[in-house]
A and B are shown apart, each in its own frame.
Chain A
Amino acid sequence: MTIRNLPVIAINLARRFARRTAHWWSVGARESRGITRRARRAAEQVGGAGGALATASQASVRAGIRASRRLDRFGEHVVTPIREERAVLRRIERIASGRAPIVLGPWISEVGYEVLYWVPFLRWFQDRYGIHPDRLMAVSRGGPSWWYAGIAARYVDVLSLYGSVQFAEQAAARRTAGDQKQGEPSQWERQIVADVCRRTGVSRPNVLSPGLMYRLFRHVWHGDRSLDFLLRHTEFPQLSAPRAPDDDWLPPTFAAVKFYTGPALPDTPDTRAQLRTCVARLSERMPIVTLDTGLGLDEHRDYLFGDVPGVLDLRGRMTPETNLGVQSRVVARASLFVGTCGSLAWLAPMLGVPTVGLYADDRHLSGHLYVARYAYRRMKAARFSAVDLAALAQVA
């Protein structure tokens, strides 16, 4: 035994301790339920024997029921998430170990989750396991290669392997199958990894799939793990976008605007009218560059404001393979970002751009707003304000 093995021994002992604790916990919970049942039966039997005795047994039954429920809840909300966390982290450790190249992705789902969770999670992964960027290859879609700068030395775009039509069809099929969040790697994801390896000449890589990140953080989104847990598995540094000569046409001061339909901002006549008013008023103060792509790569559709005076757009300045990279570069140059609360609205504060995210329904936003605000405060990001359209209707 060398001193080098001590941490490994300690970890193995801790794991064995955790396994035994979990085992005894479930045994204890089972026993406690048995005791409660027996106590209830006993209480029923002695019910008529005397007031004091009956009251005492009822009190102990109640205490037993409370203890049993508490154990169940503790198991459900604490023990299960911790066991799942350990399982996921063990898989992540296996991926990080050795010298094989690691494919990060492929990321083919929502932009919001990518910027708010996936990229910070990868930054944590790279730093935590001390992996050199040369070993890492990020795979995403739409050209956001610079989001992965400092994490992975190589980037492959899914849209450089497949046409945008095929990508959109596969994405629609995935949504129809109910796999919006890339839970388990699908057949198509495995195909992407295989094609990426063929293209880059990488053989037998380890794959860090987004499904692992979703498994690790889903208990945070469901409310069973703390915010602190998420912040311990992510790193949020400020980002800076590369400058490109293609961006010289942008006005020196402008607001980047991106409004798209989704659960947070459903497409209704009222919403359209309110957004139009906002954009029209904003255009009186500064030029506006709208980031609508017209590409239809996902289920969201852009709200269009081309007829509002002073509004510029990016049409003709991007292709499916470059659309996200171009949009986010434009956001980085803006003095203000205004858009649907989601997607690039989570990225803009990280780029140092003050951001206003608008929504009409915050049912699915609450947890993300909570995370984002703490993360932004920690990374000293630009100011982020989420505004309910209902409030604007009342007071502005």
Chain B
Amino acid sequence: MKRRAQWRCNEEWVTRQFFRRLLGVAVILSGMALVVGWRLVDLQIVQAAALAKRAERQQERMIPIEAERGAIYDRQGRVVAMSSELPSLFAVPSAIDHPAALGAELAAILERPRQELVRRLSADRPFVWLDRQVAPARAQAVLALGSEGIGVVVENRRFYPKRALMGHLIGFAGLDHQGLEGLELSYDHLLRGERGWLLVERDAAGRAVFPKSARSAQPAKGRDLRLTVDEVIQYSMEQALDAALRQTEAASAIAVMMEPRSGAILGMAVRPEFNPNQAAATSAERWRNRAITDLYEPGSTIKPLILAGALEDRKIRLDELIDCEQGSMLVANRRLRDHLPHGLLTPPQIIQVSSNVGAAKIGMQLGAPRLRHWLTEFGLDRPTGIDLKGEAGGLLRPVAQWSGRSLASHAIGQELAITPMQLVAAYAALANGGLLVTPHLVDAAVLPDGTRQAIERPAARRVISRRTADRLRDILVSVTAPEGTAPKAAIPGFRVAGKTGTAQKIDPETRRYDPREVISSFIGFVPAESPQFVLLVIIDGPQGAGWGGVVAAPVFRQIAEETLHYLGVMPQAPMVAQAAYVTPHDVRGTE
């Protein structure tokens, strides 16, 4: 009985113990479940948003897509600038076992010094470039070697397939595809386009698995540019300038050709040449587009503009006789001279023989304020507004700062400085009937779908009357006659209107005109009745006889003749036997 009661007591104790332990386990499990539950709530609700973003960051990859930079085409649709991708080769030196052997193999493929490649492959650096922007075939050959330590990335590069042709005009874009010079800079906002991006999931190896098309932005390709410049005309101009530089041993040369009615630039050549493909290896001095940045004294090419102003103000008549005082006149105690003595001349004759004394007297009849007014009317005191950055305005001092000699000096193109582009724009007004137009190089921007987008230009402004422009045109035609200063600019079968200029340069040391250093120029338009173009040729620092009629006029003729032929402009006057022109005895020194 006692044993039975003891057993029952033990059984109750065991049961109690069991339930007590069970309860303990249940409590622990419940506690753990509570912790897990709380963690679930924390992860799924409290931190859900932050963790989702973190997961996205780890699993997703944003791939930027560079926009393709727009191409540049010439007037006829020929490519002059375009971007293309090229492979660049790199190496991870720590992953390369035998740098010497691999270096020898690479040297044979890349045609680079073996020692240099071995040095790079042995470098104590995590990453080295082997060769950048190489030909695709070479990159394939390198990858075919099967070395794990060599890789390839694709880089975009801007190409200028015409090399130095139009180099100063087009300029260049940098490695980051930002325009740095020329049209590449001034139209960068249109050429650049907009960068896009693509969101992709990554697998364990980091490869892109699936593009989330709903979360992407396609890059917008930059717009193409259609220029007004023609490759053939530009080439003709550059060839002619090269030949002139060889012949005259001049320091530099410029030629600008423009349609007088529209302001469209057909060609703009600057020498020494500049190849935008090698911009990094070229000094900034060579990049400069001197046709719009450099100021020079225009010399006698200014005289027709002064005469136009005098005619507009009715200060002079074309049949009026002006005493040229046998080529010598005292102005503010200094003598103003012509190279050859002239007596009584009419204004057209003054332009034809380019008399300084006669031009100064026309300027005096006009008076200083009106003379300056007409120079500003022709736009010589401000940039022309051409679509290039860095254009200089003219240097035209206020009348209050003029000396006693300034009026006469301005009338013969001294004491003022202008850019070649300004002079071309001013002469275009004489050629087109009196309207000052804005020069431009880009005809239109072309959208990726082929739509042409015209570029707005300021409206042309009337400067002189059509009657005055017509009279000036006839006077300028006489300049290229055998009696004028530029018979070498004459083209058989065409009436050529133009004017010579020979400006002395100022010696920076003495600050006086250096008679040995001159800038020879000729500016004209042809055919005079319905001009197809205005062309300016400037030869800076020719050796020997540097007169514009001798140095620049033949270059003008060569370019103009080739361009007329290229444009299909037929001769209007009967052709005469094409004999070699002899330098007229009365040309020298009258400009």
Decide if A and B are genuine partners.
no
